[in-house]
Amino acid sequence: MILSQSFSCLSSYLHLIIPWSSILQVVIPFSMLTFASLPSRKVILLNLLKQIYGRKASENHGHYIAVMNLNAISELQINEVTGDAFVPVYFNCATVKPYIGEILIGTVTTILESGIFLKSGPMDNIYLSKTMMGGYENSLSEEPMFLKMNGLSYMKKGTKVRFRVFDIKWIKSLKVFNVTATILGDYLGPL
């Protein structure tokens, strides 16, 4: 496994480039097959991307970001039971996975009475509870927001917030990570 620092908008993440230990079998629709030739590399790549992005994330690897490299494409095979045509493919994939204690930056998307939801990179269900805000109170004004007791700091929809990952839970049925955040600590909070 190779670790590399990201230089994109996900700069606070570590990207894990995984060579898949097993082959992914890319199913090729019959409409893209001809008897004269095998499917092109482009057709195989497009179907591989469809399969990867359909998965969203996995508990072990995190969120799938990009296919980095096609290492090998094997011969076209036919499943005799289902009749599906598939091509075994070896490839590398970049992923992003949150870790407890990691400091990230997110944008406030939803404000509730009990806390706020943040979005950071591919994760859009990061919950920051009112109890993990340390001195912020829900404002009763027209625009929902959380105000610091001294009134100099606030969090409303669209505000960027630096937070620490407090807890992570994998939801298998939805293929997403539920992340609980905290801004208790030095240099954490709205930017």
pLDDT score for 15: 46
Percent of the chain with pLDDT over 90: 36
139 and 154, same domain (yes or no):
yes
Name the domain boundary from 72, 96, 120: 96
At 59, which CATH number? 3.30.1490.120
The mean pLDDT of 112-133, rounded to a whole number, is 94
Q: What is the C-alpha separation between 97 and 83, in angstroms, rounded?
A: 36
Residue-wise pLDDT for 13-39, tens only, equals: 444 445 444 446 666 666 666 655 666
Are 108 and 184 in a shared domain?
yes
- The verdict on 113 and 63 lying in the same domain is no
Same domain for 114 and 92, yes or no, is no
Q: 6 and 91 share a domain?
A: yes
Residue 38 per-residue DSSP state: P
What pLDDT does residue 145 have?
Answer: 92
116 with 136, same domain?
A: yes
Would you give the DSSP letter of residue 131?
G
Reported pTM: 0.74
Mean pLDDT of 88-113: 89
Strands 176-182 and 123-129: what pairing? parallel
Looking at the structure of the chain, the number of domains it has is 2
Is the domain of 79 the same as that of 11?
Answer: yes
The helix (run of H) or strand (run of E) holding residue 41 is helix 41-55
The answer on 120 and 73 residing in a single domain is no
Residue 42 confidence (pLDDT): 79
pLDDT of amino acid 71: 78
* CA pair distance 90, 170, nearest whole angstrom: 26
Q: Where does a domain end: 78, 96, 114?
A: 96
CA distances from 173 to 58, 120, 176 (A): 11, 21, 8
Q: For residues 102 and 19, which has the higher predicted lDDT (pLDDT)? A: 102
Average pLDDT of the residues of the chain? 80
**Cα(36)–Cα(133) distance, integer angstroms:** 64
Radius of gyration, alpha carbons of the chain:
22
Check which CATH number belongs to the domain holding 136 and give it: 2.40.50.140
Range of weakest confidence among 1-5, 18-22, 77-81, 116-120: 1-5
107: burial class by Cβ within 10 Å (0-12, 13-18, 19+)? Answer: middle
What was the pLDDT predicted at 67? 78
Q: Are residues 59 and 41 in the same domain?
A: yes
Percentage of the chain exceeding pLDDT 70:
79
Same domain? 7 vs 87: yes
User: Are 52 and 63 contacting, i.e. CB atoms less than 8 angstroms apart?
Assistant: no
pLDDT digits (tens, 9 = 90+) for 141-161: 888 999 988 778 999 999 999
Q: Which domain does 110 fall in, by range?
A: 103-190
If asked whether residues 72 and 158 sit together in one domain, one would say: no
